[in-house]
Amino acid sequence: MNRHAFDPDMTRPAQNGVYFVGVDDPPRLAASAARDELCVCRIDLAGCGDRDELLRRLDHTLHFPASFGHNWDALADCLRDLGWLPAWGYVLLFEHADELRRSAEVDFNILLGILDDAATFGSEHDTPWFAFLALPDDAFGRRRAAP
């Protein structure tokens, strides 16, 4: 599977960040990240309607340490240091992210800020760190061109 022309180079921490992608993009991104030997974590947000459910799903997928406090501060701390997941870089793929965005916009926006902070922290420590949130075409405010 080839990298899409607009995909960031996930081996370069300078390109770390939080990216909105189409609903069909996660498999391609996961394959690209796996090829580069990055830790790929897929978080399914189907039916996720609030912060508590989001934190539960993240904990379940990322296997946070037992000390995880199930609050925003604890999430920020854990995402900055994913050391219990041995890898040289990290890719978080959030599928069905629009469900959280529509049902809990404030929580969604807080999550974006925490993800952005973690990506910046990774960049400062020369660690690839990417988050991709899959959204339907109508969330982009216009129709996306076919790849």
Is the pLDDT confidence value at 142 over 90? no
Q: Is the pTM of this model over 0.85?
A: yes
The domain that contains 59 carries what CATH number? 3.30.370.10
Considering the domain boundaries, does residue 140 fall inside one?
Answer: no
Considering the domain boundaries, does residue 28 fall inside one?
Answer: yes
Considering the domain boundaries, does residue 49 fall inside one?
Answer: yes
Residue 146 has a pLDDT of: 47
Residue pair 91/41 in contact (Cβ under 8 Å)? The answer is: yes
pLDDT tens sequence across 121-135: 999 999 999 999 999
Considering the domain boundaries, does residue 66 fall inside one?
Answer: yes
pLDDT tens sequence across 76-98: 999 999 989 989 999 999 999 99
Share the mean pLDDT of the chain: 92
Considering the domain boundaries, does residue 146 fall inside one?
Answer: no
pLDDT tens sequence across 112-121: 999 999 999 9
What are phi and psi for residue 19, nearest 5 degrees? -125, 135
Number of domains forming the structure of the chain: 1
The H or E element containing residue 100 is helix 97-103
Residue 74 is part of which domain span? Answer: 14-135
Average pLDDT over residues 10-23: 96
Average pLDDT over residues 55-59: 97
